[in-house]
Structure 1
């Protein structure tokens, strides 16, 4: 059993990209990190890479769309450490960026299975472990594209898209808008428990989901998620933050 002073963190979809960078960032802060991944080979490879850096990172098989695998992951965490201090719901997907009127409904369902229902499954399953923490933190990795306000105004405060331009991607954007609503809903339920729940848009990070066209590195995109996963008791809840180079990030409109 690890010490009470060591934070225990779980990061979903953590074998590559932003997820792996978040796991690395939490490990550098001294956390005992469970690196969640569907593919065991890739998960083990990421575990070896981070442990070679001297970080306390452990692969755990977790497919957010498979309730049984989530249950097994929670059981392992309970048996090994007995609690969970930080949950980072990072796993996410998106289909080809098609006009909404041309997007197959199956593509929307597939995206929602991971980005929405998967987050609910993991959060509810891990909740008993989070309630045992003295300072539970839930971080949902969202996107600026999920902001209804910015979409309606076609404004991007981060400057990636020029004024009047805002991608209209049905499956991804609406799944992240739903995730934002989920964030606020859990935050309101848990306000009196000490568990803080926030959403983060990592910024335009070069990852597989955008064919590595992003301008930020995964490490840069991981900074605010790591910050939110390790907030002090005076930290925000029901906030939507993004990277802007400042110490605490910039608040986005829901």
Structure 2
């Protein structure tokens, strides 16, 4: 058990998540990354450790309470504290907009909306309920990785499961920020922008490192830093 600063990054085996882990570890955090794919998660942690960074991996399925419980028990046993929680894991299960039968909310299978909410919203609630008690004694930062697709300002049609679940995630940010303000735990949503990842595709203008920087900024805010906000690259954006 150690008193060193500890960070948890869900969905940390590739893309933005692994880059967030890298940048936090370079700031001397001991970082735990999670993934559903155990082999991919282990490979990502091994790669980061080969760079001299203190990163380990644990499996996590956000839709399963027992998986969340096991992760919390691991953190309590091996670290005894948590300073940063980056809720990066999420699902994008909406069909492509080229399929007009399923691209709008009136025709989308309800299972797509249910799956989106179970991971993107309820999964975040599950992990927060399990690990925030480890943050309360000393404060810290929670970052919910959201999306411009979840902004009510300029909300458009298409991708209903992803859009609506990210909007709900933003509402969760506001609720958590109000509940945890007295504990000096800052809670913010961050839009990483359109990024070159498996989800974003290779035509996206931003690198994973650029996208991760704004998340890491929100994850390392001082005690008097903002809370309950929505940010991109450290700048507040409309809800």
**TM-score when normalising by structure 1:** 0.88
Counterpart CA distance in 1 for 2:165 and 2:74 is: 29
Q: Which runs of 5+ in 2 are unaligned?
A: 97-102
Deviation at 1:167, TM superposition (A): 5.1
Report SS of the residue matched to 1:241.
Answer: strand
Asked if residue 43 in structure 1 is aligned to residue 41 in structure 2, the reply is yes
Partner of 1:113: 118
Residue 104 of structure 1 corresponds to 109
Question: Matched residue pairs, number?
Answer: 232
> Are 1:142 and 2:179 counterparts?
no
User: What are structure 1's unaligned runs of at least 5 residues?
Assistant: 152-165, 244-248
Q: State the alpha-carbon separation in 1 of the partners of residues 60 and 159 from structure 2.
A: 27
Q: Report the secondary structure of 1:150's partner residue.
A: coil
User: How far apart, in 1, do the equivalents of 2:157 and 2:216 lie?
Assistant: 27
Q: Distance in 1 between matches of 2:201 and 2:5?
A: 34
Cα drift, residue 216 of structure 1: 0.5
Distance 1:139 1:127 in 2: 12
Structure 1 partner of 2:57: 59
Task: Say whether 1:251 aligns with 2:236.
Answer: yes
Aligned to 1:238: 228
CA distances 1:183-242 after superposition (whole Å, capped 9, x unpaired): 000001111110110000001111111333321011111001111111111210001001
Runs of 4+ deviating beyond 3 Å:
none
Between 99-108 and 116-125, report the one with greater CA deviation: 99-108
C-alpha contact 1:144 1:252 (8 A) present in aligned 2 = no
1:81 aligns with 2:79: yes
Q: Select the residue among 167, 170, 174 that pairs with 2:160.
A: 170
| Rounded Cα–Cα distance in structure 1 between residues aligned with 2:70 and 2:157 | 38
Shift of 1:30: 0.6
Is contact 1:207–1:213 with CA below 8 Å preserved after alignment? no
RMSD, aligned α-carbons = 1.2
> Are the aligned partners of 1:150 and 1:253 in contact in 2 as well (CA < 8 Å)?
no
1:160 paired residue number? none
Matched, 1:194 2:199: no
1:98-156, Cα deviation, whole Å (9 max, x unpaired): 22222111111111111011000001111211113x231110000011111232xxxxx
* Residue of structure 2 in register with 1:11 after alignment: 9
Structure 1 segment 215-234 matched on structure 2, within 5 A: 215-234=205-224
What's the TM-score once normalised by structure 2's chain length? 0.94
2:68–2:126 Cα contact (<8 Å) kept: yes
SS of equivalent to 2:106 = helix
Partner of 2:24: 26
Within the candidate set 184, 195, 198, 2:174 is matched to 184
Conservation of the 8 A alpha-carbon contact between 2:174 and 2:228: yes
Q: Is the 8 A contact 2:195 2:201 kept in 1?
A: no
